[in-house]
Structure 1
Amino acid sequence: MIHYLALVLMGPVFVVQGFYVRKVTPKLEEATGERSGRCGQGKLLRLLLIGDSAAAGVGASNQSKALSGNLVSALSGKFQLEWQLLAKSGYTTKDTYDMLRHQPKEQYDVVIISLGVNDVIKTFTTKDWLKHQIALVVFIREHFSCRQIVLTKIPPMERFPALPPPLRWYLGRKARDFNQHLSLWTATQDDCELLDINHRLRPEQMAVDGFHPGPGIYQFWGQSIAQVIKTRWHSGD
């Protein structure tokens, strides 16, 4: 893969740029507000949302304007929802897997996963990352007895305003490689849906740190996940 060659040739440059980005990028807090609840009317649907800072709502002031709030709002008119959010800034796929292992066994109908950006930033290879993703999905099936797992492609990191070139280019290429391999695997899994909203992401819609989604992205993302869920559950699947 070309991004592996770039890492060998330009590794020291990427390290220096990474330190610079961490130093100058504003550190935003996770969104405040409820991380679980019951609402809506209709057929009972139990949701679990897991993942990283995007799942935790960094870039939004409150969970009502973050991914969880927009998702719940888009579904509550059709379903009686019982939902929970388990997410933390900086989490990789492996971090999330380790966290979930300490959660009690519960039954959820749908599990939504927001992960990947931190895996790209770390030194994980594509093979290792895919192995972590598969292990997480297998665990979720067994531990939460869910019938639908919704994942989202890693965003186009080459468009992140916070990242300078050539680091921006490198992380973007790596993210695309991760997405390609995840797409091939999820296509073989009947209970998995891989959502791609990258065509709708614009740098000006991102949070002030130039790294996280802004409220407009969260709204579109939440509505897109809700549509995927409605399609499966209204089809009688």
Structure 2
Amino acid sequence: MYTTLKYIITFPIWFVQAILVKQRAIKLPEAAGTRMHQIDDVPCVAVIGDSVAAGVGVEDINSSLVGALKNKLMKLTTDNISWYVYAKSGDKLKDLTAKLNDIDVQADYIVISIGVNDVTAFTSADKWQYTMRQLFQKLITQSPNSKILLLAIPPMEQFPLLPNPLAKVLGSRSKKLNLVSEALCQKFHQVSFMRVDIEADESLFAIDGYHPSAKSCKMLANKIVDELLS
């Protein structure tokens, strides 16, 4: 991980890089299509969180993470799956947690994708842990029999969009928050933590070099299903 000294020494470089990346980044929309498919008396999967959950980087919901998940689950478990997405591009952990005051997330499987925006906003580890605990408690209260899976923040040092040293700085921040998340998940028997490994392969990223491609969503969904059904 980046040391405090390295942060300080390289700060003028990566600070400027962050401004330029934000200015020049391609702004992609969320995936098109309905975000809910409800059928009574069949398994239900919910994907909640940020732009990855919202399908930024792919054309439609069927090509997104939830689409790949429901397709894989249907092949392995049943002909029908209920599913829905509750996500917004740009949301941080505090945004998602606050929104659960107004909605109920009830599903057999709940997949959480959150954190990249907290990394770029430099959310502290203490605040991250406190808010993540709140999120888990709310989800368990709303859906006490669900299986909850928290996806690790992806290794941001691998994102093609990000130059060094900015990539290394954000990658180090994502690792730090992931360590906090993994430890916290062990305190909730309904919650599991899944690391997200991704290579610096452009085919795994959308044209913005920042969000996952349809290929990447499918690969991730396969790993998630294995974890949920284990």
Task: Please give the residue correspondences for 1:14-29 in structure 2 after superposition, counting only pairs within 5 Å.
Answer: 14-29=14-29
Report the alpha carbon displacement of residue 4 of structure 1 after superposing the two structures with TM: 4.3
Task: Please give the residue correspondences for 1:84-163 in structure 2 after superposition, counting only pairs within 5 Å.
Answer: 84-103=84-103, 105=104, 107-163=106-162
- For 1:45, the equivalent position in structure 2 comes to 43
Deviations 1:22-69 (A, max 9, x none): 111111111101211046x9x721222101001111111111111010
Report the alpha carbon displacement of residue 196 of structure 1 after superposing the two structures with TM: 1.8
Unaligned segments of structure 1, at least 5 residues: 232-237
SS of equivalent residue, structure 2 residue 229:
helix
The CA distance in 2 between the partners of 1:108 and 1:5, in whole Å, is: 45
SS of equivalent residue, structure 2 residue 210:
coil
Distance 1:81 1:156, change over 3 A: same
Task: Please give the residue correspondences for 1:135-214 in structure 2 after superposition, counting only pairs within 5 Å.
Answer: 135-198=134-197, 200-204=198-202, 205-214=204-213
SS of equivalent residue, structure 2 residue 46:
strand
The CA distance in 1 between the partners of 2:102 and 2:6, in whole Å, is: 38
The alignment's C-alpha RMSD in Å is: 2.0
Letter of the 2:20 counterpart: Y
Q: 8 Å contact 1:33–1:63 — kept in the other structure?
A: yes
- For 1:235, the equivalent position in structure 2 comes to none
* TM-score, normalising length: structure 2: 0.90
Letter of the 1:50 counterpart: I
Task: Please give the residue correspondences for 1:209-224 in structure 2 after superposition, counting only pairs within 5 Å.
Answer: 209-224=208-223
- For 1:64, the equivalent position in structure 2 comes to 62
Report the alpha carbon displacement of residue 106 of structure 1 after superposing the two structures with TM: 5.5
Q: 8 Å contact 1:110–1:146 — kept in the other structure?
A: no
Q: 8 Å contact 2:74–2:81 — kept in the other structure?
A: yes
SS of equivalent residue, structure 1 residue 221:
helix
Q: 8 Å contact 1:111–1:146 — kept in the other structure?
A: no
The CA distance in 2 between the partners of 1:164 and 1:130, in whole Å, is: 28
> In the alignment, is residue 75 of structure 1 matched against residue 73 of structure 2?
yes
SS of equivalent residue, structure 1 residue 44:
coil
Q: 8 Å contact 2:14–2:164 — kept in the other structure?
A: no
SS of equivalent residue, structure 2 residue 48:
strand
The CA distance in 1 between the partners of 2:224 and 2:177, in whole Å, is: 20
Report the alpha carbon displacement of residue 183 of structure 1 after superposing the two structures with TM: 1.4
The CA distance in 2 between the partners of 1:185 and 1:208, in whole Å, is: 34
The CA distance in 2 between the partners of 1:38 and 1:102, in whole Å, is: 20
Distance 1:52 1:106, change over 3 A: closer
Distance 1:189 1:47, change over 3 A: same
The CA distance in 2 between the partners of 1:214 and 1:66, in whole Å, is: 8
- For 1:234, the equivalent position in structure 2 comes to none
Q: 8 Å contact 2:155–2:196 — kept in the other structure?
A: no
- For 1:229, the equivalent position in structure 2 comes to 228
Q: 8 Å contact 1:50–1:112 — kept in the other structure?
A: yes
Distance 1:82 1:176, change over 3 A: same
Q: 8 Å contact 2:90–2:117 — kept in the other structure?
A: yes
Report the alpha carbon displacement of residue 156 of structure 1 after superposing the two structures with TM: 0.8
The CA distance in 2 between the partners of 1:49 and 1:6, in whole Å, is: 36
Q: 8 Å contact 2:55–2:64 — kept in the other structure?
A: yes
Report the alpha carbon displacement of residue 123 of structure 1 after superposing the two structures with TM: 2.2
SS of equivalent residue, structure 1 residue 13:
helix
